[in-house]
Amino acid sequence: QITLKESGLTLVKPTQTLTLTCTFSGFSLSTSGVGVGWIRQPPGKALEWLALIYWDDDKRYSPSLKSRLIITKDSSKNQVVLTVTNMDPVDTATYYCAHRRGSSGCFDVWGQGTTVTVSS
């Protein structure tokens, strides 16, 4: 059974850097075709994809946020970390990590999400 859980600060100040950790179980990020992605959802708005990292360390970023995002993995710890720099109130959202089924191009299992508020 695949599970994922997001963790990190829930309140950050403008201009600060947000670091979110996705801790997962039930799969290995060393297995061919496997990936983990981050998706966020501002209150009352649509889902927005942020970043993806694959088993071979291939990384993909949202073009609109690429300059502010860094995604890394620690396969030995079963963790994926997303760093978002220069946080702004518009970055207030629920942040989800999800298991990527590479061959199908879908997110088949999602974490429960963590709500991040950006406010001074």
Partner 1 sequence: QSVLTQPPSVSAAPGQKVTISCSGSSSNIVNNYVSWYQQLPGTAPKLLIYENNKRPSGIPDRFSGSKSGTSATLGITGLQTGDEADYYCATWDSSLGAEEFGGGTKLTVL
Question: Is 107 one of the binding residues for partner 1 (CB under 8 A)?
Answer: yes
Cβ of residue 90: shortest distance to partner 1, in angstroms?
15
Question: Counting contacts by CB under 8 A, is residue 63 touching partner 1?
Answer: yes
Q: Would you say 17 or 112 has its CB closer to partner 1?
A: 112
- Report CA 119 to chain centroid distance, whole Å: 21
As measured in angstroms, the least distance from the Cβ of 67 to partner 1 is 14
Structure tokens that stand for 84 in this block: 């978002």
Task: Catalogue the E-assigned strands of 14-92.
Answer: 18-25, 34-41, 48-54, 59-61, 69-74, 79-84
b/e string for 38-70 if b means 16 or more Cβ within 10 A? bbbeeeeeeeeebbbbbbeeeebbbeebeebbe
Give the footprint of partner 1 on residues 22-61 (CB under 8 A). Answer: 37, 39, 46-49, 52, 60-61
Asked if 5 touches partner 1 (CB under 8 A), the answer is no
Residue for token digits 């946020």? 65
84 binds partner 1 (CB under 8 A): no
Which residues lie near partner 1 (CB under 8 A)? Answer: 37, 39, 46-49, 52, 60-63, 96, 101, 104-113
